[in-house]
Amino acid sequence: MQQTVDLVIHGGKVVSDQAVIEASIAIRGQTIVAIGSDDAMPPATERFDATGLHILPGAIDSHVHFRDPGYAHKEDWGTGSAAAACGGVTTVFDMPNTNPPTGTLDALALKLKNAAISHVDYGIHALLDEDNIDQLEALIDAGATSFKCFMGNTFGNLPAPSDGAILEGFEILARRGIRCTVHAENPSIMARRQARMETAGRADRHAHLAARPEVCEIEAIGRAIAFAEWTGARLHIAHHSAADSLYLLRDAKRRGVDVTAETCPQYLLLNTHDMTRLGSVLRVNPPIRDERHNAPLWDALVEGVLDMIATDHAPHAPDEKTRERIWNCDCGFPGVETQMPLMLTEISKGRATIMDYVRWSAVNPAKAWGLYGTKGVIAPGAHADFAMVDLAREAVIANEKLHSRSKLTPWNARPVKGVPIHTMVRGRFVMRDRELIATTRGWGQSVKPIQAMPAPRPRNTDKTMGAIVTAGGPHV
Ligand code: DOR
Ligand code: ZN
What pLDDT, in 10s, does the model give residues 104-114?
999 999 999 99
Distances (CA, A) of 454 to 160, 161, 233, 321: 29, 27, 11, 43
311 has a pLDDT exceeding 90: yes
- 377 CB less than 6 Å from ligand 1? no
- pLDDT at site 1: 66
- pLDDT at site 455: 67
Confidence of residue 451 (pLDDT cuts 50, 70, 90): low
Instruction: Report the chain's mean pLDDT, rounded to a whole number.
Output: 95
Beta bridge partners, 272, equal none
Percent share of the chain, pLDDT over 90: 93
- Per-domain residue ranges of the chain: 5-52, 57-416
- Tell me what the mean pLDDT of segment 148-174 comes to: 96
Confidence of residue 457 (pLDDT cuts 50, 70, 90): confident
- Tell if the pTM clears 0.95, that is, is over it: yes
CA–CA dist 377, 230 (Å, integer): 32
CA–CA dist 373, 81 (Å, integer): 23
- pLDDT at site 27: 98
466-475: pLDDT as tens digits? 545 554 444 4
Residue 336 Cα to ligand 2 middle (Å):
12
- pLDDT at site 2: 81
What letters, b where the CB count within 10 A reaches 16 and e where it falls short, cover 303-340? Answer: eebbbbbbbbbbbbbeebbbeeebbebbbbbbbbbbbb
Q: Class of the 5-52 domain?
A: mainly beta
Q: Which CATH code is given to the segment(s) 57-416?
A: 3.20.20.140
Residue 52 Cα to ligand 2 middle (Å):
35
- pLDDT at site 458: 83
- 184 CB less than 6 Å from ligand 1? no
What letters, b where the CB count within 10 A reaches 16 and e where it falls short, cover 423-450? Answer: bbbbbbbbbbeeebbeebbebbbbbebe
Can the peptide bond before residue 69 be classed as cis, meaning omega within 30 degrees of 0? yes
- 420 CB less than 6 Å from ligand 1? no
Do 210 and 193 form a contact (C-beta atoms < 8 A)?
Answer: yes
Single out the residue of 143, 136, 198, 195 nearest to residue 168, CA to CA.
Answer: 136
Percent share of the chain, pLDDT over 70: 95
- pLDDT at site 419: 98
Residue 279 Cα to ligand 2 middle (Å):
19
382-427: pLDDT as tens digits? 999 999 999 999 999 999 999 999 999 999 999 999 999 999 999 9
Pairs from 274-280 (Cβ < 8 Å, separation ≥ 24): 274/410, 275/205, 275/206, 275/208, 275/209, 276/205, 276/206, 278/410, 279/205, 279/326, 280/205, 280/321, 280/322, 280/323, 280/326, 280/329
CA–CA dist 8, 3 (Å, integer): 13
125 has a pLDDT exceeding 70: yes
CA–CA dist 258, 249 (Å, integer): 10
In terms of C-beta density within 10 A (0-12 exposed, 13-18 middle, 19 or more buried), how is residue 187 classed?
middle
Ligand 1 atom nearest 332 alpha carbon: 1
254 has a pLDDT exceeding 90: yes
